[in-house]
Structure 1
Amino acid sequence: MILPILIHPDPRLKKTCDAVADLSDDRLALAKDMLATMYDAPGVGLAAPQVGVLERLIVLDCVKDGDPEPLVMFNPEILASSDETNVYEEGCLSIPEQFAEVTRPKEVRVGWIDEKGNPQEKDFDGLWATCVQHEIDHLNGKLFIDYLGPMKRQMMTRKSQKLKRERARV
């Protein structure tokens, strides 16, 4: 099922999410729906707070060409990050049609629980590293525009507010 995506500014996007206590059928179904929503949008990542669920769950798939490689992460956390950085032009499904360059660690090691309840750990680099950091930020109430200067952030927030009002009229 395709879920509605919250648009910034929405107070739920600025909240810190709770840990997922157990992998119930409802949570597994939510992860499946989030993947469907992400692919439909289309995007390369989606965090539970973006669909109004304040729990530590993200989905991502940074494969642009070729077979999809969906990843579902419950309670993801960055365990280590490189001193070397990368700059990527980031966007967000909750801040549609707006992009900005963001500097983040080039490589990160992430730990999480998979859909079967097994602990996982993996090193990510490039777009995957940027995406997983972006989505984990959502779980901590942080948006990519929070990395920008105040004027650019305000401008993007105003554009998002306008888009949100226009969509509400439809």
Structure 2
Amino acid sequence: MAIRKIVTYPAEILETKCETVTVFDKKLARILDDMYDTMIEHDGVGLAAPQIGLNKRIAIVDIDDEMGTIELINPKIVEATGSQLGPEGCLSFPGVYGEVTRANYVKVQAQDRKGRTYLIEAEEFLARAIQHELDHLDGVLFTTKVTRYLTESELEGGEAES
């Protein structure tokens, strides 16, 4: 396992729609393990493959709750309801924070590292983190959804970066 370099804006890969994962092998497992280590090293709650320079539909989320680490391969939102407004940051935009409106509940279909399809339901902060990472896979940056930028002091030790 290794800590990967975080790709920062304006790198082109951050605004590129990622390719579907078709091979589920040891290389994919190593990428997922590296993504986890990289996310933890940078105090993130999520990380998408383009953030480490890979054009693949892979994301991980871990908000330090009972769900643990969620590995999302080829994910797609199949249901989204409600609305929440909250602060977000992004490892690819160091020091940039803003308020973003997201669905309060999402149901996501994804594959695990062995290629098995599963469904996951998430609410509130976990739903926010998942939506942020899935946006990355479509080349959508949180800065395009910010309604108001925040200073670090306004965050008052708020949400971690994803």
**Band the TM-score falls in, shorter-chain normalisation:** 0.7 to 0.9
Aligned match of 1:128: 126
Residues 34-113 of structure 1 mapped to structure 2, 5 A cutoff: 34-63=35-64, 69-82=68-81, 84-113=82-111
**Structure 1 residue runs of 4+, over 3 Å off?**
none
Q: In the aligned structure 1, how far is the partner of 2:120 from the partner of 2:13?
A: 29
Structure ranking higher in helix proportion: 1
Aligned match of 2:114: 116
Given that residues 48 and 60 in structure 2 are in contact (C-alpha distance below 8 angstroms), is that contact kept between their aligned partners in structure 1?
yes
Q: What TM-score, normalized by structure 1, do the two folds share?
A: 0.83
Q: What TM-score, normalized by structure 2, do the two folds share?
A: 0.87
Give the aligned length.
Answer: 148
Aligned match of 1:6: 7
| CA offset digits 1:117-160 (Å, max 9, x no partner) | 211101100111000000000000001001136x96xxxxxxxx
Q: Which letter does structure 1 place at the counterpart of 2:39?
A: M
Structure 2 unaligned regions, length at least 5: 150-162
1:116 deviates by 2.4
1:68 deviates by 7.8
Moved more, 52-61 or 117-126: 117-126
Aligned match of 1:18: 19
1:85 deviates by 0.3
